[in-house]
């Protein structure tokens, strides 16, 4: 049995295949970012999903692509957790950017971007990934990500920069007590996921001038730091993965056009495309 997984910080989508590459089932766990989630919690999030735990001894291969898996130490942590559970499996762990490439451009050169709980980009030349910088996560980077916008929303609310109508709805949907916010940011695991939970609020107000301005600012920053430095011409395909790009497609395309670039495609959830790539390309 083979498991293929695309794991962000918020959630991880899993597909189980038999040895003939026929789909058996799908499952979803909480995010498995080993850079921010403690080792024991990583284990709990897997074993608490019955569909996965029930077939733990039958799994021969795991292809896991995840946020936080771009450097050796987090990969080692997650590999050890999985090996303790899936004792008979050969385990391959790679960063989520590789899954984004496979799900979008496949084997073709392109700039591929992720706008989810976190954000990142790469240039893929058809065989190798080039990244502008190592990702340092939600507190320093992650322009135009869910946690980036969540942080801006909270700041604007506390500085009274949020329009009254929007602020009233914001208050009704979230616990905005300062102690509660600080507890989640500084004491509890997954502060990036906590911040990103606020960004969903923007989807209900995407036609508000306030939200459009915020989104445009974030996209401009993303292009400045994560796309333009590749110095590719406007014939280079550009793909985006994630709900932020998907729900604010019109603003994203306007920002791209401003820089004489074209967005080739936006994929909200890459798991289906990733599955098809595996069936066709990976033995």
- Indicate whether 37 belongs to any domain: yes
Domain with 54 in it: what CATH number? 3.30.420.40
- Indicate whether 153 belongs to any domain: no
- Indicate whether 51 belongs to any domain: yes
The pLDDT of residue 282 is 62
DSSP sequence for the chain: -EEEEEE-SSEEEEEEE-TTS-EEEEEEEE---TTTS-HHHHHHHHHTSHHHHTTTTT--EEEEEETT-SSHHHHHHHHHHHHHHSTT-EEEEEEHHHHHHHHHTTTS-EEEEEESSSEEEEEE-SS-EE-SS----TTT--TTSHHHHHHHHHHHHHTT-S-HHHHHHHHHHS---HHHHHHHHHTSS-HHHHHHHHHGGGGGGTTSHHHHHHHHHHHHHHHHHHTGGG---TTS-EEEESHHHHHTHHHHHHHHHHTT----EEES--HHHHHHHHHHH--
**Tens digit of pLDDT at every position of the chain (283 positions):** 999 999 888 889 999 999 888 899 999 999 999 988 899 999 999 999 999 999 999 999 999 999 889 889 999 999 999 999 999 999 999 998 999 999 999 889 999 999 988 899 999 999 888 988 877 778 888 999 999 999 999 999 999 999 999 999 999 999 999 999 999 999 988 898 899 999 989 988 989 999 999 999 999 999 999 999 999 988 999 999 999 999 999 999 999 999 999 999 999 888 888 888 888 876 5
The pLDDT of residue 283 is 59
- Indicate whether 40 belongs to any domain: yes
- Indicate whether 69 belongs to any domain: yes
- Indicate whether 135 belongs to any domain: no
The pLDDT of residue 10 is 83
Identify the domain containing residue 11 by its residue range.
2-99+271-281
Please tell me the total count of domains within the chain. Answer: 1
- Indicate whether 141 belongs to any domain: no
pTM: 0.85
- Indicate whether 112 belongs to any domain: no
The pLDDT of residue 136 is 78
The pLDDT of residue 140 is 86
């Amino acid at each position: 049995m083979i498991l293929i997984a695309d794991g962000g910080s918020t959630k991880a989508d899993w597909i189980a295949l038999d040895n003939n590459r026929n789909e058996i089932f799908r499952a979803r766990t909480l995010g498995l970012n080993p850079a921010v989630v403690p080792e024991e919690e990583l284990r709990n999030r897997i074993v608490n999903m019955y569909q996965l735990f029930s077939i733990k001894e039958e799994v021969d291969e795991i292809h896991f692509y995840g946020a936080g898996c771009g450097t050796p130490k987090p990969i080692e942590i997650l590999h050890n957790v999985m090996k303790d559970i899936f004792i008979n499996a050969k385990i391959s762990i790679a960063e989520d950017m590789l899954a984004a490439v496979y799900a979008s451009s496949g084997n073709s050169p392109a700039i591929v971007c992720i706008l989810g709980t976190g954000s990142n980009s790469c240039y893929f030349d058809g065989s190798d990934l080039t990244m502008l910088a190592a990702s340092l996560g939600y507190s320093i980077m992650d322009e135009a990500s869910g946690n980036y916008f969540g942080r801006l929303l909270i700041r604007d609310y506390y500085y009274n920069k949020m329009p009254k109508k929007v602020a009233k709805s914001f208050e009704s949907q979230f616990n905005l007590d300062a102690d509660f916010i600080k507890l989640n940011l500084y004491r509890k695991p997954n502060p990036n996921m906590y911040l990103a939970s606020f960004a969903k609020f923007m989807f209900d107000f995407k036609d508000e001038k306030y939200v459009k301005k915020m989104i445009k600012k974030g996209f401009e920053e993303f292009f400045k730091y994560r796309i333009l430095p590749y110095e590719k011409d406007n014939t280079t395909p550009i793909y985006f993965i994630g709900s932020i790009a998907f729900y604010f497609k019109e603003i994203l395309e306007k920002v791209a056009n401003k820089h004489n670039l074209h967005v080739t495609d936006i994929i909200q959830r890459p798991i289906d495309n990733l599955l098809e790539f595996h069936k066709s390309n990976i033995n």
